[in-house]
């Protein structure tokens, strides 16, 4: 039974550039009427008409509405199947004023296009076999990348690095399955291409490859999503000065008056490829009569609860105070680095740092002199990235991929145990098929329920309940049950 994807054969239009004023704005069309709609609003400067343009060419002309010129523009033509969506695509590059871009989009829609849903261009690329599901997810990761490393991870995934790894694992399992199927199909003839017990070794080899990839998830997730890092400590120990020193600008107000910071301030920096979301918080003290400061302290506590890491700042030039130990109690269950600030004035607190939190590494710095910051960045990196990730290796960054590999490993383990125990081929094949299904789900070869596809402008759900979607099947844009 074949089921058409709703709206798959409409011509869609959307603004592909960010909202706001810019030098250029781009309106994108995709679908069977893309060129026809473009021809209604675009008047070429030459004699050749839009329907005569060659694929992958750019043409100068004017956008018009009932003969009135709206803007000068360039029209880029990309004919199916050699386009991002594998459909006919036209891109109108006009001037980037908010009104101008909106007017061009309005003309496209009034002449027959439908407003695209968020991410629908990437959705169509997936449905039409241009991208698999893992590659479609990587499009959003590229857009949201905050560091070179996170961008590199996303580009590798979009280029098929993860897909190739999954397909290679599937191919090995299919070979094993073929061996098993021969034994099942020709059981009466006692044909055994390979002893069942030996299959356990081959399964174990695939397991090891998947486990190696799984071990990269903790680091990959950090590179993709970053670390929420709260800067905490007593009032006037230099928390805001540390924030300013790390980001390289005077983002937070710094004075000698305790309690200057009343609210949380967030900034993102790059620490050896990790997007570090720094949160400067109000100083914590047990007793205060200032109602505004109380609100700031409550927000600090909430920031600490949601943080992945806490930079616990203490004044290294004086003895530790009861307030320091009170804060240490609040951080008992949090990943913490003790920052011994004002180290240019002395190292009095350093000796007692271990008493604050025995499992936290202490790093002496001077936010004022900007010393010790490289050492702090290195400690932050090494606290979360336990091993070197090699260039070109598969790095898992998505919780969906992690979960599917864990499911595949669970089934492979059962299949390997059955093979090692010398059980019949049917027992081995049952879990082996389930493992293959889990790996296929990475690439969207089977899509059950609802899958989030994130594209250029947001998220869109591909509804395929009770059905399977195969990206390698034709005709284009069909779901095969």
Q: What is the chain's mean pLDDT, rounded?
A: 83
Whether the link from the prior residue into 353 is cis, omega within 30° of 0, is no
Does residue 259 surpass a pLDDT of 70?
no
Distance of CA 126 to CAs 8, 35, 131, 142, 338, Å? 12, 22, 5, 16, 47
Q: What is residue 6's predicted lDDT score, i.e. its pLDDT?
A: 43
Does residue 191 surpass a pLDDT of 60?
no
Q: What is the arithmetic mean of pLDDT over 298-323? A: 87
Does residue 447 surpass a pLDDT of 90?
no
CATH 1.20.120.430 maps onto the chain at 144-216+393-443
- 403 contact partners, CB below 8 Å, separation of at least 6: none
**Which 3-state string (H, E, C) describes the chain?**
CEEECCCCCCCEEEECCCCCCEEEEEEEEECCCHHHHHHHHEEECCCCCHHHCCCCEEEEEEEEECCEEEEEEEEEEECCCCCCCCCCEEEEEEEECHHHHHHHHHHHHHCCCEECCCCHHHHHHHHCCCCCHHHHHHHHHHHHCCCHHHHHHHHHHHCCHHHHHHHHHHHHHHHHHHHHHHHHHCHHHCCCCCCHHHHHHHHHHHHHHHHHHHCCHHHHHHHHHCEEEEEEECCCCCHHHHHHHHHCCCCCCCCCCCCCCCCCEEEEEEECCEEEEEEECCCCCCCCCCHHHHHHHHHHHHHHHHCCEEEEEEECCCCCCHHHHHHHHHCCCCCEEEEEECHHHCCCHHHHHHHHCCCCEEEECECCCCECHHHHHHHHHHHHCCCCCCCCCCCCCCHHHHHHHHHHHHHHHHHHHHHHCCCCHHHHHHHHHHHHHHHHHHHCCCCCCEEEEECCCCEEEEECCCCECCCCCCCCCEEEC
Does residue 120 surpass a pLDDT of 50?
yes
Q: What is residue 8's predicted lDDT score, i.e. its pLDDT?
A: 53
Q: What is the arithmetic mean of pLDDT over 172-197? A: 73
Provide the CATH number for the domain formed by 225-384 in this structure: 3.40.50.300
CATH architecture classification, 144-216+393-443:
Up-down Bundle (1.20)
**At 293, is the pLDDT very low, low, confident or very high (cuts 50, 70, 90)?**
low
Q: What is residue 183's predicted lDDT score, i.e. its pLDDT?
A: 66
CATH 3.40.50.300 maps onto the chain at 225-384
Q: What percent of the chain has pLDDT over 70?
A: 80
φ and ψ of 27, to 5 deg: -110, 125
Does residue 468 surpass a pLDDT of 50?
no
Q: What is residue 257's predicted lDDT score, i.e. its pLDDT?
A: 45
CATH 3.30.1360.120 maps onto the chain at 2-127
Identity of the highest mean pLDDT range in 100-114, 317-331, 387-401: 100-114
Among the listed ranges 8-17, 373-382, 439-448, which one has the minimum average pLDDT value? 439-448
Give 288's Cβ-side CA count (13 Å radius).
Answer: 20
Cα–Cα distance, 475 to 473 (Å, whole number) = 7
CATH class of 2-127: alpha beta
The residue with tokens 């996303």 is 154
The per-residue pLDDT for range 179-188, each reduced to its tens digit, is: 888 767 655 6
The residue with tokens 């006037």 is 236
Q: What is the arithmetic mean of pLDDT over 316-320? A: 91
Among the listed ranges 235-244, 296-305, 455-464, which one has the minimum average pLDDT value? 455-464
> pTM to 2 decimals?
0.75
Q: What is residue 23's predicted lDDT score, i.e. its pLDDT?
A: 94
Does residue 17 surpass a pLDDT of 60?
yes
């Amino acid at each position: 039974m074949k089921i058409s994807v709703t709206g798959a054969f409409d011509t869609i239009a959307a603004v592909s550039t960010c909202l706001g004023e810019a030098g250029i704005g781009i309106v994108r069309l995709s679908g069977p009427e893309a060129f026809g709609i473009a021809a209604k609003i675009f008047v070429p400067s030459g004699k050749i008409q839009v329907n005569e343009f060659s694929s992958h060419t750019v043409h100068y002309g004017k956008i018009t509405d009932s003969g009135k010129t709206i803007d000068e523009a360039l029209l880029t033509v990309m004919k199916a199947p050699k386009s991002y969506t594998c459909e006919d695509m036209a891109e109108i590059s006009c001037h980037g004023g908010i009104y101008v871009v909106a007017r061009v989009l309005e003309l496209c829609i009034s002449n027959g296009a439908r407003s695209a849903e968020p991410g629908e261009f990437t959705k169509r690329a997936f449905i039409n076999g241009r991208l698999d599901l893992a590659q479609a997810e990587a499009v959003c990761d590229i857009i949201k990348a905050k560091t070179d490393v996170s961008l590199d991870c996303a580009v590798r995934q979009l280029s098929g690095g993860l897909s190739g790894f999954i397909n290679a694992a599937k191919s090995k399992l299919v070979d094993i399955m073929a061996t098993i199927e021969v034994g099942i199909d020709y059981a009466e003839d006692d044909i055994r291409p390979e002893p069942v017990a030996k299959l356990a070794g081959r399964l174990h080899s695939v397991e090891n490859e998947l486990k190696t990839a799984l071990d990269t998830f903790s680091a990959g997730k950090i590179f993709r999503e970053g670390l929420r890092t709260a800067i905490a400590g007593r009032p006037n120990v230099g928390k805001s000065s540390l924030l300013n020193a790390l980001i390289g600008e005077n983002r937070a107000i710094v004075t000698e008056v305790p309690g200057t910071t009343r609210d949380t301030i967030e900034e993102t920096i790059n620490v050896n490829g990790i997007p570090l979301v720094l949160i400067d918080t109000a100083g914590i003290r047990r007793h205060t009569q200032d109602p505004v400061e109380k609100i700031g302290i409550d927000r600090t506590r909430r920031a600490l609860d949601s943080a992945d890491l806490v930079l616990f700042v203490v004044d290294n030039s004086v003895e530790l105070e009861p307030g320091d130990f009170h804060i240490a109690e609040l951080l008992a269950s949090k990943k913490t680095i003790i920052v011994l600030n004002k180290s240019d004035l002395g190292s009095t607190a350093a000796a007692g740092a271990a008493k604050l939190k025995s499992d936290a590494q202490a790093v002496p710095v001077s936010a004022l002199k900007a010393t010790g910051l490289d050492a702090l960045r290195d400690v932050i990196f090494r606290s979360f990235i336990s091993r070197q990730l090699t260039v070109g290796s598969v790095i898992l960054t998505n919780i969906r991929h992690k979960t599917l590999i864990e499911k595949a490993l669970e089934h492979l383990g059962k299949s390997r145990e059955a093979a090692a125990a010398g059980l019949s081929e049917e027992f081995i094949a049952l879990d082996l098929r389930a493992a293959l299904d889990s790996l296929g789900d990475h690439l969207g070869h089977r899509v059950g329920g609802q899958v989030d596809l994130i594209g250029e402008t947001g998220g869109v759900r591909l509804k395929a309940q009770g059905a399977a979607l195969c990206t390698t099947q034709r005709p284009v844009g069909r779901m095969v049950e």
